[in-house]
C-alpha cells in the first residue's frame, strides 16, 4: 500500500512539473531566437592566383553584423537567418604591382629584389547580406550548444584601397573600377558555445574581367578561414 501511494504521488508530481515546464517553455519558445549578432576574425587567402603571383604576410579580415533569426520548427532549433553586416578585408601580396598610368590601371609581376618592397596590399570594404540555414542543439534554457550554420553571403564593395611602398617609389590608389562591385560566396560556421570555425569560399573574382595580368584575366577569389562569435 505504501509503495502504491508513493508511486501515485510521484506520478502526479512528475505530471504536474512536466505540464508546468511545458507551459513555461511554450511561453518562452514563442519569442525564442538565437545568435542574432555576430563578429568574425579571418585569415584571408587569395584563391586561384595567376601563375607567378605570391601571397605574403598575414592577411586579415574583420566582419560584424546582425542576423534576424527566424525559426521554422516547433522546437525552434532550426531556422533561417537573414542579416546585414560590414566587412573589412586586407590582402597582402608579394610581387604584383598595381598602378595607374595615363588614366589606365595596369597589373605587373615585378622582381622584388629590384624594388625592395616594404608594403604591397589591397583592401576592400563591403556591406554584406548573409543568408543562412541554421541548425543547433539549443533549448530555450541552454546557452551552450552545438551549431552548424551554412549559407550564402552577398557583398557590395563600398571602398577599396591599394598601397605599394618600395625604394623605387610609392603607389596609393582608392576606389579603382577594377574591383567587382558585387562579391558573393558560400559560408559555413560550426562549433560549440563561444568558439566556432568559420569559412567563406568566394564564388566570383575579386577583380573584374577587364583586369589582366600577362594578357590573362585575373580570376583570383577570396578564401576566408577563421573564428566566428555569436551574441544573442
Q: What does the domain layout of the chain look like in residue ranges?
A: 1-31, 33-231
Q: Is the pLDDT of residue 19 over 80?
A: no
Q: Is the pLDDT of residue 60 over 90?
A: yes
Structural contact between residues 123 and 89, judged by C-beta atoms closer than 8 angstroms: yes
pLDDT in tens, 118-177: 899 999 999 999 999 999 998 777 778 899 999 999 999 999 999 999 988 899 999 999
Structural contact between residues 31 and 67, judged by C-beta atoms closer than 8 angstroms: no
pLDDT score recorded for residue 179: 96
The mean pLDDT value of the chain amounts to 86
Residue 5 sits at φ, ψ, to 5 deg, of -60, -45
Calculate mean pLDDT across residues 60-65: 97
Q: Give CA–CA dist 86/227, Å, rounded.
A: 16
Q: Give CA–CA dist 30/137, Å, rounded.
A: 17
Q: Which of 130, 121, 109 is nearest to 46 (CA)?
A: 121
pLDDT in tens, 87-104: 999 999 888 999 998 889
pLDDT score recorded for residue 201: 98
pLDDT score recorded for residue 51: 84
- Three-state SS string over the chain comes to CHHHHHHHHHHHHHHHHHHHHHHHHHHHHCCCCCCCEEEEEEEEEEECCCCCCCECCCCEEEEEEEEEEEECCCCCCEEEEEEEEEEEEEEEECCEEEEEECCEEEEEECCHHHHCCCEEEEEEEEEEEEEEEEEECCECCECCCEEEEEEEEEEEEEEEEEEEEECCEEEEEECCCCECCEEEEEEEEEEECCEEEEEEEECCCCECCCCEECCEECCCEEEEEEEEEEEC
Structural contact between residues 76 and 32, judged by C-beta atoms closer than 8 angstroms: yes
The fold adopted by the segment(s) 33-231 is Porin (2.40.160)
C-alpha cell at 92: 597582402
Structural contact between residues 216 and 192, judged by C-beta atoms closer than 8 angstroms: no
Residue 26 sits at φ, ψ, to 5 deg, of -65, -35
Q: CA neighbours within 13 Å on the CB side: how many for 196?
A: 26
Higher-confidence residue of 94 and 64: namely 64
Amino acid at each position: 500500500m505504501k509503495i502504491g501511494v508513493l508511486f501515485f504521488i510521484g506520478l502526479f508530481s512528475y505530471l504536474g512539473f512536466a505540464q508546468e515546464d511545458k507551459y513555461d517553455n511554450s511561453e518562452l519558445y514563442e519569442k525564442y531566437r538565437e545568435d542574432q549578432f555576430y563578429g568574425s576574425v579571418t585569415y584571408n587567402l587569395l584563391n586561384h592566383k595567376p601563375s607567378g603571383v605570391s601571397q605574403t604576410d598575414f592577411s586579415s579580415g574583420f566582419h560584424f553584423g546582425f542576423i534576424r533569426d527566424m525559426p521554422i520548427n516547433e522546437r525552434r532549433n532550426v531556422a533561417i537567418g537573414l542579416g546585414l553586416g560590414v566587412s573589412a578585408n586586407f590582402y597582402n601580396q608579394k610581387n604584383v604591382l598595381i598602378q595607374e598610368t595615363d588614366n589606365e590601371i595596369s597589373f605587373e609581376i615585378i622582381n622584388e629584389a629590384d624594388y625592395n618592397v616594404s608594403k604591397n596590399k589591397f583592401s576592400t570594404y563591403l556591406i554584406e547580406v548573409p543568408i543562412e540555414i541554421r541548425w543547433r542543439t539549443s533549448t530555450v534554457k541552454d546557452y551552450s550548444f552545438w551549431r552548424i550554420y551554412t549559407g550564402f553571403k552577398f557583398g557590395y564593395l563600398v571602398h577599396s584601397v591599394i598601397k605599394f611602398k618600395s625604394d623605387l617609389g610609392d603607389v596609393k590608389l582608392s576606389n579603382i573600377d577594377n574591383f567587382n562591385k558585387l562579391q558573393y560566396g558560400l559560408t559555413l560556421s560550426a562549433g560549440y558555445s563561444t568558439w566556432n570555425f568559420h569559412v567563406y569560399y568566394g564564388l566570383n573574382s575579386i577583380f573584374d574581367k577587364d583586369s589582366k595580368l600577362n594578357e590573362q584575366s585575373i580570376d583570383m577569389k577570396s578564401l576566408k578561414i577563421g573564428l566566428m562569435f555569436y551574441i544573442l
